[in-house]
Structure 1
Amino acid sequence: MAVLRGRLTLVLILSLNCCFSFPTVLSSVTSDGFLQCLSDNIPVGLIYTQGSSNFTDVLVSSVRNPRLFTSATVRPLCIVTPVDASHVQAAVRCGRASGVRLRVRSGGHDYEGLSYRSERPEVFGVVDLSNLRAITVSADDDERPVPPTAPSAWVDSGATLGELYYTVAKNNPELAFPAGICPTIGVGGHLSGGGIGMMMRRFGLSVDNVLDAKLVNASGDLVDRAAMGEDHFWAIRGGGGESFGVVVSWKVGLVKVPSTVTAFNIVKTVADQGAVDALTKWQDVAPGLPTDITIRVIIQGQRATFQSLYLGSCSDLVPVLNSSFPELGMTSADCLEMTWLESAAFFQFWNRRTPVEALLDRKTSLSTFTKNKSDYVRRAIAKEAWESIFSWLTMDGAGMIILEPHGGFIGTVPDGATPYPHRSGVLYNIQYITFWSAGGEQEGATATAWIGSFYEFMEQHVSESPREAYVNYRDLDIGENVVVDDVSTLDSGRVWGEKYFAGNFQRLAAVKGVVDPTDYFRNEQSIPPQSTASRRRPGISLD
């Protein structure tokens, strides 16, 4: 058993269950009452109000995109930094009793910053989970007389992916967890949206490997999978953050990886290295390669970088790619053999010599503004279209695009197994990113105009009815909730929700209607509750 330094045991204080009574609808906002309730039930050193000298420092500590932190940002009434699940329970109960909603932040990577800010004037608090970051790894035992249990880990939502990778691999270098590349992403936010990454073709999404969870629900109760029920458990594994409660920890299944893996970066330019031909062929090849091979593409300017992880040795990889993907021109000289943990550092920092301890760095920067969008491709884009796409990447304000191949195991999982529906028939995901320097207003205007126009141009080449999007690349441009009588409307949620969740949106709304009918856990793109009357209509069921 390995425990991350600073582990804090989650304790359920049952006595809190009788401390509050809840109205069936939220009472009028009473800020003073809310703050007093918090101080009565949570150590005052864990509560930061707007009058606290270090309030701004705590708020900024996990802001990953300073575009969303300006003088116009609607700031929270306070920030609660729990070190125990009971503190989360108290915050929810105080909020419910006082009519103050909560937003929840793990790593702060929400692309629209909805975990710590509001688009509209409102009084709200933030529960910052960064102090809840314990990781406990339990390995299997092959000598048991009964069938052994698979290796797993309990990880708190405030831990980062880098901390999870490091702790698991240091416990056993041949164990890993399939998730994203960026090590500062909070586990809670990542798992709430699905979790794509370099091993999903072999092992599935992050949420396909979630076994259990501990969640504080809208009544302030701490429940696990058995207590919350299978519909609620289904919804939190990819249904988007801040809709169904506060997940304080997750039990995840770990996967076995070889002692040596192979990585490479191969760059192709448009002018003289056949980038267009290689990219055109990649669309057909990448989703159908053996599941141990993932090749994603990062395109910026007139260069396409083919970045790969192979769960095996170079000598086995070279002949496979030379046969199936000769346009790449891969040779043994391109191979970088390393441990899986070293590959996690390599893909983030692009430097073989970066120490794996760099994965533990949680620092944030306020120097670069970004805007992101996403798409899914189900039909290969023609060579002539790629030539046009590359021309967009030479324009003023141009950023970059990242292509993540699907196929493999992820494509065999039914679309409704989790809320993440982009499975069967998906070739790859596109992430569009543009960026500019902090404070550069004209530069920012040019960059945002570029990404908006480019996204409009790409409509002809990507999925349709709906035009799909990835909820972990949140984009408010595709729609926001409309609130009527203090509840988000189903119709307004469907506008953006079917892009993220396709046919799973209706089931998510039905679950929301059961577990949080008053819409307490709410933001601009949270799942709206479906009313009881709607759930009784023919064809609508939680089953």
Structure 2
Amino acid sequence: MASSRTLALALLFSFLSCYASVPSQASSDGFLQCLSAAIPNELLYTQSSPLFTPVLVSSVRNPRLFTNTTVKPLVIVTPTNASHVQSAVVCGRRHDVRIRVRSGGHDYEGLSYRSERPEVFAVVDLNKMRSVRVNPSAGTASIDSGATLGEVYYAVSKASTQLAFAAGLCPTIGVGGFLSGGGFGMLLRKYGAAIDSVLDATLVDAEGRLLDKKAMGRDVFWAIRGGGGESFGIVLSWKVKLVPVPPTVTMFKVAKTVAEGAVDILTKWQVVAPALPEDLFIRVVVQSSAAEFQSMYLGTCDALLPLMGSRFPELGLNRTHCNEMTWIQSVPYIYLGSTATVEDILNRTTSDGLRKATSDYVRQPIPKDGWLKIFDFLAQPTAGIMIVDPYGGKISAFPESATPFPHRAGVLFNIQYMNFWSAATDGSAQIKWLKDFYTFMTPYVSSNPRQAYVNYRDLDLGQNVVVGNITTYESAKVWGEKYYKDNFKRLAFAKGKVDPNNYFRNEQSIPPLVARK
């Protein structure tokens, strides 16, 4: 009997140690009163507010993560200036209420607005802080974290037809989350990851202080440029270097089925694409029995055709495939389709449907028989898609330690696996397919660690264990070294400098390590 009681107590302690302490009702009430004293009430949405749910779901990009059982925030704060964010942090620290931060809502596991654990938390939603200030003569832009990539692209194009922002494909992604994980898109081979262009940032730390690059210090500034969101504080704005683009870029989309030689073409693509001139980027979306090659070339069709003819003739590119346009016109072309307009990238309300995703990195070419088996997987009734982005060029020119984003030299391409389903199904078959495919790919991808991209967050890679309000390093290392490789420990020491008490945390936040004197 005594041993059973001891076991029960041990299990209870183990359960509780994995979760944050839950503040009392009085503490929660005190937090709300504290917020009301510092922030206008029209910027606060409590659970009793009729607008609470509409505001909460306004940036939920994946309905899978919002159900009747979702652990929702105590309140949503929609700040309009830095002082509101500082007040939210100060009130949260004072009353033991955690803060989660949302910019665009694209977190693949929804950790910017929900919790996997029974804790009381607030969401700071930055959608009202989305100014974009472009300085064409200096070739820079100052961007609030709540702006979407589409809003940034649009503002840059209005200020200059010769400049661009080297970021991602999806225009509804929030800048804050995108840059916090590294960020890459169709200019990655020419200009590197998005964080390679960050010049400065403004951070609200766990004490509520407002810090720029100099004030936060070298290690913390290094950490926020790719070290993941919601670990080091709340980044309110970023100063970035813009990049030059020619007046004409050439886009193409060429689909090849297995019957048309897709296996042989992909086998060649994986070697050629990372070694092409930096002006040429060719990604591939592989689905069912076909592969669609999607490309941007920084130049004209006349210059592209001989290049493709000599370096990648297997694709059979000809003039009918070429679509010449300006850089800003290329943004909707790839993601939204050939009929979309530039103004369409300003739409913040699109949803990507019910889905689950994960990622891999490939450092050695996949043999032809491997590609044949991949197409067999993709032919299954519950199959999803496989998106491959070539590396090489500028993204590989930086040392792995230059930023927390370590996926540099030696990487041939990144893989994103994704599966979708309708509300009429529970998605279990689609998720099982995804996990089975991920397991199947083990021999073909990186190992020790098996690398993953933090902006394609996947909680199946591991979750934090919290003991005494501090995330254990050992539990976080399970997923952390997959995202960050050898940079993970340095991130933990940076966390120990700026947030040693682990105020900012979620299921995959960086744990604090404090250097011994």
Match of 1:285 among 251, 272, 279: 272
Return the alpha-carbon distance in structure 2 between the equivalents of residues 389 and 205 of structure 1.
28
Contact conserved, 1:296 with 1:405, CA < 8 A, in 2? yes
Map Cα deviations across residues 37-72 of structure 1 (whole Å, 9 max, x no partner).
Answer: 000000000000000011000000000000000111
Structure 2 counterparts to residues 31-180 of structure 1, below 5 A: 31-140=28-137, 150-180=138-168
**Are 1:356 and 2:356 counterparts?**
no
State the match for 1:307 in structure 2.
294
Q: Secondary structure at the match of 1:511?
A: helix
State the match for 2:306 in structure 1.
319
State the match for 2:3 in structure 1.
none
Map Cα deviations across residues 62-95 of structure 1 (whole Å, 9 max, x no partner).
Answer: 0000000011100000000001111000000000
C-alpha displacement of 1:215? 0.7
Map Cα deviations across residues 466-491 of structure 1 (whole Å, 9 max, x no partner).
Answer: 00000000000000000001110000
Contact conserved, 2:206 with 2:233, CA < 8 A, in 1? yes
Letter in 1 for 2:390: P
State the match for 1:10 in structure 2.
none
Return the alpha-carbon distance in structure 1 between the equivalents of residues 23 and 244 of structure 2.
52
**Are 1:437 and 2:425 counterparts?**
no
Return the alpha-carbon distance in structure 2 between the equivalents of residues 158 and 398 of structure 1.
34
Match of 1:410 among 387, 395, 406: 395
Return the alpha-carbon distance in structure 2 between the equivalents of residues 117 and 505 of structure 1.
25
Return the alpha-carbon distance in structure 1 between the equivalents of residues 462 and 67 of structure 2.
22
State the match for 1:231 in structure 2.
219
Say how many residue pairs are matched. 496
**Are 1:372 and 2:318 counterparts?**
no
Contact conserved, 2:250 with 2:301, CA < 8 A, in 1? yes
State the match for 1:332 in structure 2.
319
Return the alpha-carbon distance in structure 1 between the equivalents of residues 321 and 223 of structure 2.
42
Contact conserved, 1:175 with 1:254, CA < 8 A, in 2? yes
Q: Secondary structure at the match of 1:112?
A: coil
Task: Extract unaligned runs of 5+ from structure 1.
Answer: 1-24, 141-149, 537-543
Percent of paired sites with the same residue: 60
Q: TM-score, normalised by structure 2?
A: 0.95
Letter in 2 for 1:190: F
State the match for 1:191 in structure 2.
179
Match of 1:509 among 492, 496, 513: 492
Return the alpha-carbon distance in structure 1 between the equivalents of residues 319 and 425 of structure 2.
44
Structure 2 counterparts to residues 353-502 of structure 1, below 5 A: 353-365=339-351, 368-441=353-426, 444-502=427-485
State the match for 1:22 in structure 2.
none
C-alpha displacement of 1:397? 1.3
Map Cα deviations across residues 236-287 of structure 1 (whole Å, 9 max, x no partner).
Answer: 000000000000100010001001100000000001x110011000001000
Map Cα deviations across residues 301-351 of structure 1 (whole Å, 9 max, x no partner).
Answer: 001000000011110011011101111101111100000000011011121
Return the alpha-carbon distance in structure 1 between the equivalents of residues 212 and 428 of structure 2.
46
C-alpha displacement of 1:360? 0.1
C-alpha displacement of 1:170? 1.2
State the match for 2:238 in structure 1.
250
State the match for 1:347 in structure 2.
334
State the match for 2:9 in structure 1.
none
Question: After the TM superposition, which parts of structure 1 deviate over 6 Å for at least 4 consecutive aligned residues?
Answer: none
Contact conserved, 1:26 with 1:518, CA < 8 A, in 2? no
State the match for 1:21 in structure 2.
none
Return the alpha-carbon distance in structure 1 between the equivalents of residues 86 and 319 of structure 2.
55
Letter in 2 for 1:76: P
Q: Secondary structure at the match of 2:141?
A: strand
State the match for 2:169 in structure 1.
181
Q: TM-score, normalised by structure 1?
A: 0.90
Return the alpha-carbon distance in structure 1 between the equivalents of residues 167 and 508 of structure 2.
23
C-alpha displacement of 1:358? 0.2
Return the alpha-carbon distance in structure 2 between the equivalents of residues 230 and 365 of structure 1.
37
Contact conserved, 1:517 with 1:531, CA < 8 A, in 2? yes
**CA 445–168 in structure 1, closer or farther in 2 if over 3 Å, else same:** same
Return the alpha-carbon distance in structure 2 between the equivalents of residues 268 and 532 of structure 1.
54
Task: Extract unaligned runs of 5+ from structure 2.
Answer: 1-19
Map Cα deviations across residues 379-408 of structure 1 (whole Å, 9 max, x no partner).
Answer: 000001100000000112100010000000
Contact conserved, 1:34 with 1:94, CA < 8 A, in 2? yes
Contact conserved, 1:26 with 1:97, CA < 8 A, in 2? no
Map Cα deviations across residues 417-462 of structure 1 (whole Å, 9 max, x no partner).
Answer: 0000010100000000000012412xx1110010000000001100
Return the alpha-carbon distance in structure 2 between the equivalents of residues 527 and 490 of structure 1.
8
